[in-house]
Amino acid sequence: MKVGIVGASGYSGEELVRLLAKHPDVELSMITSRQLAGQSASSVFPALRNMHEELVMSDSDVASLVASDIDLFFLALPHGVSVEYAKPLLEAGKQIIDLSADFRLDSADRYFEFYGEHPAPELLNQSAYIIPELADKSAFGFNLIASPGCYPTSLLVPLVPLARAGLINAQGIIANSMSGVSGAGKKLADTYLFAERNESVKAYGIPKHRHLSEVEEQLEKAFGAEAVIQFIPHLVPMNRGIQSSIIVKPKAGASLEQAYEAWEAAYADKPFVSILAKGQTPDTAEVVGSNRVDISIVEDMRTGNWIINSCIDNLLKGASGQAVQIMNVKYGFEETASLEP
């Protein structure tokens, strides 16, 4: 199957190139970047040396993409830009996995609250939001699939099974997350200079980070009720990785054993979710370079809270790795194809 990447110059685009170049079931046929157009792909991406020497970076021209014989496009573009490509590509019968926020929400009103006016609200009900371990199989049949954000993945993977099982309260959830600098993308801004970030931790996007929109929408589906979460993201001095600490109130009578049972029922056969034994907590160093989510839970007898911890690689399970995993499941490939650490 022929695949293409639109917007490959960012960190997520680079990871997509690396993963798709070695994938046994697809042919990486097109890589676009307006700023790198005309350069040989192997000179831009070392992962392609001696593999795809014939590939040349092409301009992100919509008409050329529509006219191509490529079956599936990965859109690694900023929010607000993906929609410009999605609409004509869908009309041309192409399949799309989008890594931006353009199609992660069902509600145009919620999108407006966090991002502004949606340029094509009619497409929101034509797309599916997919975390592979949690999505219904029918969702993979959509031609337009939204790959979740990095923070939401780190929060929803541990929370959704507990919500579906009725073990935790939908109100009063507090999440503190820490992300490596690559989560901000390739930006020329003072905030991301080495001298600014080294030996420094900074909270940002509070009290209403944009990722709250998809987290709360998905949690409301899981709870079947309104969900409110206090989300506090932090920028920390490391290249990549996300660690999330989540505080929840268990329902009366709910036990930690039931929480583990809910996780085991949801993830027993899922290759990219690792449930840590009691007493262990995940470490970003152990997931960086993998498409895995490590999760743990403890009970604080003093406060009555459950404390959940999760770790992911923000560029893999939080972005490109998850997008490739979605493709693998959608097309019946081995789910772990090209995603082994």
3-state secondary structure of 3: strand
Residues of the chain with CATH 3.30.360.10: 151-312
- Give 298's strand partners: 307
150 given a catalytic annotation:
yes
Residues of the chain with CATH 3.40.50.720: 2-147+319-330
Name the DSSP class of 229: E
Regarding the domain delimited by 2-147+319-330, which CATH topology (the fold level of the hierarchy) does it fall under? Answer: Rossmann fold (3.40.50)
Catalytic residue (one of 150, 170, 295, 311) = 150
Q: Quick one: pLDDT at residue 182?
A: 85
Q: Quick one: pLDDT at residue 187?
A: 62
Under-50 pLDDT residues of the chain:
none
CA distance 248 to 233: 17
Right CATH for 151-312 from 3.90.1260.10, 3.90.1200.10, 3.30.360.10, 3.40.30.10: 3.30.360.10
CA distance 105 to 110: 7
For the stretch 89-144, pLDDT in tens is 999 999 999 999 999 999 999 999 999 999 899 999 999 999 999 999 999 999 99
Structure token pair of residue 276: 């840590």
Q: Quick one: pLDDT at residue 28?
A: 94
CA distance 189 to 290: 28
Structure token pair of residue 278: 């009691």
